[in-house]
A and B are shown apart, each in its own frame.
Chain A
C-alpha cells in the first residue's frame, strides 16, 4: 500500500476565497498524524504540469472575474486533466472549482465560460446579482456505505443543473440551486460541492474518505486508516449541528 499521496492544488494564488486553502492544511495535518507523506504541488496560469502524477487534484473557488482569468489556462490542459480523472485521480472541487468541472458557467452578466466538461452538469447565475444562496448548510452524504452529515457554508450566485449523482441531500440551506433537495456532485473519486468552511475542517470523515481513496488508489478501493483523536472536531460538529438544526 502507498504511504504517500501526491496532491495538485490548482490556482491557489487566484482561487483562494473563504479560507478554502485550509482544506489542504487539513489533509496535510491528517496525513502527518498518520505518518503518511503528503506532497503538495501548485498549478497556476502558465505552469507546465504533469497532471498524471497526482493522486488528488484540488481546485477551490473564486469570484467571476477570477474564473474568467483562468478559464483559458484550464482549457489548455483539458485533455490532460481528463486523462488524470480517467486514471483514477481523486478530484475535490469547491464552489467555483465545482462549476468549472461542468459544461459551462454563465455569470450574472450573461457571460458564458466553458468548463472542462468532465461532468454533464452546467451552472447559470441569476442576472440579479444580489440573488445568492448564502448561509450555513448541512447535507447528508453517503461515503463508503455510511451516512454522514456534512456541515459547511455556501455563498454562490450560480445554480447548478443537470447533476446526475449529487454529493448529498440538503437538510438545511439551499444546495445546487435555491431550496434544492440536492447539493454537489459525487462519484467514488469525485467530490464537487458548494460547501466552504473550509469543507474538510468541519468534516473529518470527508477528509479521511479522500485520503483513504488516494492511498487505496492502486487497489481501486478505500484503504483502512488509523483513527485519530477527533474530539475537538466532533464537539465542534455537535455544537453546530444542534444550533443550526434548531433554526
Chain B
C-alpha cells in the first residue's frame, strides 16, 4: 500500500494563459538582495485620514491631543470604509490638507503627528489565537477595526472582501504574490522572510470564506520566495487545501483578472467582480496584515515599501510607519546617487509621478521609484498612429486600444464606452509597445474620469430638477391655500348677520350696564 506522503507536485497543475502581456526587464535585482530593514522614525508623520477606497473616515483627535501608537485617529463612516490608527505615539500638531500620494498631486486632510520617540502602545484588543472556535463575524469586526485594506495598491477594505454575500458561494481564495511590475520587491522580501506569518493570515481568510482551495500564485522570477513559501507550507497543516503555484513571468500576471485566468482559466465578467465567479483575491501583504490584526491585535500602521531606482544610492526594502514622508525614506537609502528624472509612486508601468517629496506613504504605497535619466528617457513627441496593431496584440484585457485611442482623442465619450473602456486595467502594455510613443493610457484615463464627471453632473442635474419641481409644487400649494383663506374670509363677510331674531348680545350688555348706572345714580340722589 503506497502512502501518499509526497507533496502534490506543483508542475502537475494546469495553468492557463491570458491574452497578450509583455516581457520587460524586471530590474528586481536592484533591491531584492537586502533584508527588510526597519527605518528610524521620521521627525514628523503626515498621516492621511483617508487611505482606502470608500467613505472617508471621521477624525477622532483634535490638534494638541496626545496619541498612543495604535490609537484610532479616524473612524470608518460606512460599510465600505476603514479606520486610520496613529503609527506611533506623540502629539497631534495639526490636522490640515497636505499633499497625498495621488496622480493629481492635490492635498487631502492629514494629521501631522510629532513622535515622542517612546513608541508607547495604546491598549490593544486581545489576540484571537483561538479564532477557529470564534464567530466569523467577530474576526471580521477585528479585521475592520484594524483598518486592513488591500495592500497591492487598490486599498479596498479587506473586511468587506472577506464578507461573502449569501447568494454566492466562494470556492477559491487566490493569494497574489505575483508582483509582476518591474523594480518592486516588497512582496518578494515579505514572502522570503515572513512566509509563516503570511500563511497564518491565509489560514484566517480560509476560515472566514470557507473556501475549498487556496492558490498562492508567485511569478517564477522569485525562486527564493517560492521555496520559502513551500517550506513554510510544509510545516503547517494547510497542505490539504493550499497550493503554491509558480507562474510564468509575464507582465501583467499580477493583475487580479489576469491571475485568476492563469490559475483557474475563468474569466471575470465585464464590469463584474471575482466574487461573481466564486473567487476572492488577496495580496500577500494583506494576508500578513490580517494575521497581525487577528493573532496580535495590532492595527495596520506600518508596511514594507521598496525604495529603488538607479538614482537611489542604496535601494532596499524598508518597513516604515504609515505617514512617513517619502524624502525621509530616500534619505534612509543613502539619498540620491544622481538627480532623478522622475520620482514615481508605485511601479514604472502603473505608478504615477510624485511632485512633492514630502508626500507621505500610505497603506497602499508599495514602491518609491527614483528613475535616473537613462531609465526614463524622454520618449520625444508622439508620432501618428501607423495602425500596426501591436497594442491589440499585447492587451491583456482583449480590448482594441487603437479604437479606444481614436475615440478618446476625439472626446467621443459614448463610443469609447462601446469599446469597453472600463475593462481597461491601465497596465500600460499598449503604450509600452507603441512604436509611435503615443501616451495611450493617458487618453484612457482622461476618458474614464471625464465619463465619471459627466455622470456626476447628470446626477446633480437630476437632483436640481427634483428640487425645482418640489419648490414649484410648494409655491403652488401655498398660493392655493392663500386663495382658499381669502375666499373663506370673503364668504364670512358676505353672509348677512343673524340679527333678525332678538337683540344683539353686545348691545344688550351695554344697555344693561347703562341701566345699572342709571339706577345707581337715582339711588345716590335719593340718599342725598
Is this pair of chains taken from one and the same complex?
no
